[in-house]
A and B are shown apart, each in its own frame.
Chain A
Amino acid sequence: MSDSATVADHNPALQHHFADMEQQQQAATMGMWVFLITEIMFFGGMFLAYMVYRYMYYAAFVAGSQAMDFWYGTINTIVLICSSLTMALAVRASQVGQRKALVALLIVTMLFGCAFMGIKAIEYTGHWRDHQFPGASFHFEGPDPQHIEIFFSLYWAMTGFHALHMLIGIVVVGFITFYAWRGRYGPDYHNPVENVGLYWHFVDIVWIYLYPLLYLISHKHTG
């Protein structure tokens, strides 16, 4: 790692405080993984609350879950899985230096993200209209409306924070798309694309857990 060697193959994207591109890339990747660990802990708090209350008020959770629209949830799941695929292909495109494919795939990914948000917005409007938002106006016909309200509190909090992450993801992908279009990424330098890909997959995975937990609680208690 002598200085002369690094100067020789100096890449314009290399920041001054790194010895070489390899070090820079490893640092970026590791930073992203550490960040995702904090994200897991962030959502973990809500998942814990979910588990506790689902155990305590199982019947209410079944009732609340049945008030979810199965199709909205399912379609959104499919949309997100597709977006993960296009994101994975985008990362691949950046690694092999296909600029046009990269830009196109990132745009498609963003569109999937927007579709998800759109469907979610429709769904939210429905819940709002049906008084399924916690608070004074909450109303639910059923045996145990009080605990169904907890289900909906968790539903709004969990999907709300997830949607916030989606929104941030879409914006960041937007920036990355812009730089990709300007030709910044190629086989030598693509870790921003990889990292945003990691983030995107993470947000998808959170949904993959939210979907069954919120939409698909069965009637029968198997425990």
Chain B
Amino acid sequence: MAAIPLPGAEHENYLNKEYGIRSWLLTTDHKRIALLYLLSITFFFFIGGFFALLIRLELLTPAGDLVQADTYNKLFTMHGQVMVFFFLIPAVPAVLGNFLIPIMIGAKDLAFPRINLLSWYIFIIGGCFMLYTILTGGADTGWTFYTPLSTSFLDTHVVAAAVAIFIAGFSSILTGLNFIVTVHRMRAPGMTWSRLPLFVWANYATSIIQVLGTPVLAITLALVALERLFHFGIFDPQKGGDPLLFQHLFWFYSHPAVYIMILPGMGVVSEIVACFSRKRVFGYKFMALAVIAIAVFGFLVWAHHMFVAGISLYAALVFSLLSYLVAVPSAIKVFNWTATMYKGSISYTTPMLYAFGFIGLFTMGGLTGLFLAALGLDVHVTDTYFVIAHFHYIMVGGMVMAYIGGLHFWWPKISGRMYPESWGRLAALTIFIGFNLTFFPQFILGYLGMPRRYWQYSPEYQVLNVLSTAGSTILAVGYVLPMVYFLWSMRYGKVADENPWGAAGLEWMTASPPPTFNFDETPEVTWEAYNYGEAKEVPVER
């Protein structure tokens, strides 16, 4: 339990140990790699966000007047592909997970530091292909690449986009592989499975999905590329191939991919809620079990995306039933977070505000999932804005809230500086309001019947679309704010001490920022996770 009690002093840490571009590009330090990821995905986040704004602007009026139909199709395709594969999937695992998992389990690094760096380079190569795709005119397959449209009917850069995602997929696989081995083999003495923070559990479950699911997407996209390049006929009905097989393979990955995006977010929220309620997470064991259950059952529900695609009646029944089963562990999570607050000592710091936002929006996203899993109702709302609203509540309302909340929570650890608290709260509120204004009207649009991916639409849908577009501008401001004050705080922020929140967890027992090998001495863990009962002092609310 040795930490360096040197708040403010220039102790040697992972940031100041070496300088220069080489020391960053050739680093094997998981913390530096996490920052490399942070930079890269922030870049892609703003690209994807820019596309989103253009989409919303186009939809301000019913007529297609801002951009051409083909351009619009490219916008939503690139928005989806960039956001899903180059932001959401790497966001929490590759940034926060990379930075924190070794520290949280008391290890000096991930099990394979060089593979960790390799995974970032692979991500960058994939990202370059994505940028190439965008800069040379983009692809317009939709992020789902449905065949035979993607294979035989478009002459855009479909292969480049597929290659980009194929490559980025291997980065995701390697991250997952690294986490699995690290959690199994690198835990400090005394850090038993039942003492792991839920953030580690969540990332562990995520890793399982990454390792099992991503290769299936990879081979599917590879076959799509082969169809385009060499006219293989595996998914082409013209040649007797089956486009539904493509959909099965695609969703076999892409449904679990939703959990790749949301599970780590759940982990973040568990840490934040426990810390700012100053309580052990309610029902720790069930929380850990729930994430594993979600990861496992998540693989059995993919065809709920295909209820109107032409699958058999009985297949649809089975997949609907299984989809309801996977909803149970998600419900458990929400109830337990709420119960954690009971009789706590709650402070409304910025990360906690994000956690509140997450719980609320995730609840709404999850509950609307019940609508979509109900077979007879799904027939009406699938492929409409109802679905768009639903998954944005999960991914943007849930996952992005958790990610930004996590960045605030661990920012003192990452940068050694405090962000300005009042600005933080303002941004959280802006994002929450902007988000709801953007996406709530889309639920109504969807039930009214407005299909997704429509460049122009019937005039009666306009009012709700205007509201949505208005919301998106507020949301955009909300997302720019944290970036500005995070950058500001790196220079002018108050210097953070080892544990500014009075939080439990090994990451708070080493210096801020941590030294290169995280701990001067391998810690020996003798306490349970979230031992807030024994925590020393409650920091004064600022």
Contacts and interface: CB of A to CB of B under 8 A. Distances in A.
Contacts of B186: 17-18, 23, 27
Nearest to B113: A17
B220 interface: yes
A154 B181 CA distance: 34
B216 A149 contact: no
Interface string A144-161: 001101100110110001
Contact of B185 (A3, A27, A43, A156): A27
A30 B184 CA distance: 9
B103 to A, nearest CB: 12
What is the predominant secondary structure among interface residues of chain A facing chain B? helix
Contact of B181 (A30, A48, A161): A30
B132 interface: no
Given A38-B211, A38-B214, A31 B177 contact: yes
Interface in B503-532: 517, 521-522
Given A3-B521, A38-B173, A52-B242, A30 B215 contact: no
A19 interface: yes
A7 interface: no
A44 B219 CA distance: 9
A43 B181 CA distance: 23
A53 to B, nearest CB: 8
A150 B241 contact: yes
A134 B211 contact: no
Contacts of A136: 231
B32 to A, nearest CB: 14
A8 interface: no
A46 B215 CA distance: 11
Interface in A133-148: 133-136, 146-147
B240 A147 contact: yes
A153 B185 contact: no
B230 A133 contact: yes
B481 interface: no
A183 B104 CA distance: 38
B181 A41 contact: no
Contacts of B115: 31
Contacts of B389: none
Interface residues of A, number: 42
A30 B185 contact: yes
A37 B211 contact: yes
Contact of A34 (B110, B211, B234): B211
B178, B186, B234, B522: most-surrounded residue (chain A CB, <10 A): B234
Interface string A196-207: 000000000000
Nearest to A60: B240
Interface in B259-275: none
B485 interface: no
Contacts of A39: 215
A12 B18 CA distance: 24
A42 B522 CA distance: 38
Interface in B203-226: 211-216, 218-220, 222-223, 226
Contacts of B522: 1, 3, 19
Nearest to B226: A157
Contacts of B173: 38
A46 B109 contact: no
A57 interface: yes
Interface in A164-205: none
Given A41-B216, A146-B239, A149-B239, A17 B108 contact: yes
B14 interface: no
A136 B173 CA distance: 36
A34 B177 contact: yes
Contacts of A37: 211-212
A34 B209 CA distance: 12
Interface string B105-130: 00111111101000000000000000
A85 interface: no
B233 interface: yes
Contact of B245 (A34, A49, A135, A147): A49
Contacts of A27: 111-112, 181-182, 185-186
Given A17-B109, A30-B185, A57 B216 contact: no
17 contacts: A1-B522, A16-B108, A27-B182, A30-B185, A31-B111, A31-B181, A35-B177, A41-B216, A42-B216, A42-B218, A56-B242, A134-B232, A134-B233, A135-B230, A149-B239, A156-B230, A157-B234
Interface of A: 1, 3, 15-19, 23, 26-27, 30-31, 34-35, 37-39, 41-46, 48-49, 52-53, 56-57, 133-136, 146-147, 149-150, 153-154, 156-157, 161
Nearest 5 A/B pairs, CB to CB = A42-B215, A135-B231, A45-B219, A17-B108, A153-B232
